[in-house]
Structure 1
Amino acid sequence: NRINYVTAIQGGGLAHGEATWDNLVTDRTQVQAWEQFKIVDQGDCTYTIQTLSGWYVGVGPASNPTISTRISDPNAAESIGYTAKFMLAMWRS
């Protein structure tokens, strides 16, 4: 169907990817239950992305642009150099 989905490998909980794969991928054409995310409203115009296993997605700084699916507390992510709160942008095509 030419549609791909963003999924977290193993349902999240991986600090980083490996040489041959990443912990967040876009090559899935069907979604299994463990590959789904929950978008959580933080009440301040930001949102977190929570994996099925309860971890959060975080993005490292520009100097080390890594993606983690092993952030336990999105409010404390900045203390380890990650951002785990995001703003959603809507657009019309």
Structure 2
Amino acid sequence: MRSVILGAAVLIVWLCLDGVAAASITHPAATRTMSHRAGSVLSAINGPIAGCVFLTSNGHYLTAVGAGGRTTDVIHSDATRIGSWEKFTLIDSGDGSPNIHYGLQTFHGFYLTAVGGGGRITDVIHSDATQLRAWEKFSLDSLGNGVYAIETINGHFLTAVGGGGRVTDTIHSDATQVRAWEKFRVTCGH
């Protein structure tokens, strides 16, 4: 019992020092090298990380149109306020990867899918998956200060076309480098 309490105390101190607060998580994955460690600890303690929003480089939120369940008109990037369709739950895939993979679950419980695993500019994202499989796995690569690149299972990055603010041709998954349009401010606990 004493070792469990001591371990919990060490874990709480570590989380506080790492900038992660259990009540309002703003950094779900601290860095690429620490993301598995931080993500595993968060998943083990808190389970899924709910209420996560993705802000594009020009200040718009990603929206899962209809709260998920779609294969066309899936994602918009023009929201200026946070509603239920802008909230996602991060689900640890539990695949044991050194760079933790998350499923991005919509408000209605569907997972986002990077069609083909990424590398596309048309038919890029679906939101109708009911199981977390390979194409539903994403890594959140920390760029610092709460900004992340969203990496697909095959190593491409999601791009908010035009930096956001769109209802058509909103997301691409073919970027191989992180530039301005591949950066998202991620905050959780909304």
Q: Same fold (TM over 0.5)?
A: yes
Q: Secondary structure at the match of 1:87?
A: strand
Task: Report if the CA contact (8 A) 1:16-1:66 is conserved.
Answer: no
Residue aligning to 1:12? 68
Q: Structure 2: where are the runs of 5+ without partners?
A: 1-57, 146-190
Indicate whether 1:50 and 2:102 are aligned. no
Letter of the 1:60 counterpart: V
Task: Report if the CA contact (8 A) 2:61-2:86 is conserved.
Answer: no
Indicate whether 1:33 and 2:91 are aligned. no
Q: Name the structure with the higher helix share.
A: 2
Rg: which structure is higher? 2
> What stretches of structure 1 move > 4 A for 4+ residues in a row?
none
CA distance in 1, matches of 2:139, 2:84: 25
CA distance in 1, matches of 2:125, 2:76: 11
CA distance in 2, matches of 1:28, 1:34: 10
Task: Report if the CA contact (8 A) 1:59-1:65 is conserved.
Answer: no
Residue aligning to 1:20? none
Identity %: 26
Q: Structure 1: where are the runs of 5+ without partners?
A: 18-22
Letter of the 1:14 counterpart: R
Q: Secondary structure at the match of 1:26?
A: strand
Letter of the 1:89 counterpart: D
Residue aligning to 2:141? 89
User: How many residues are matched?
Assistant: 81
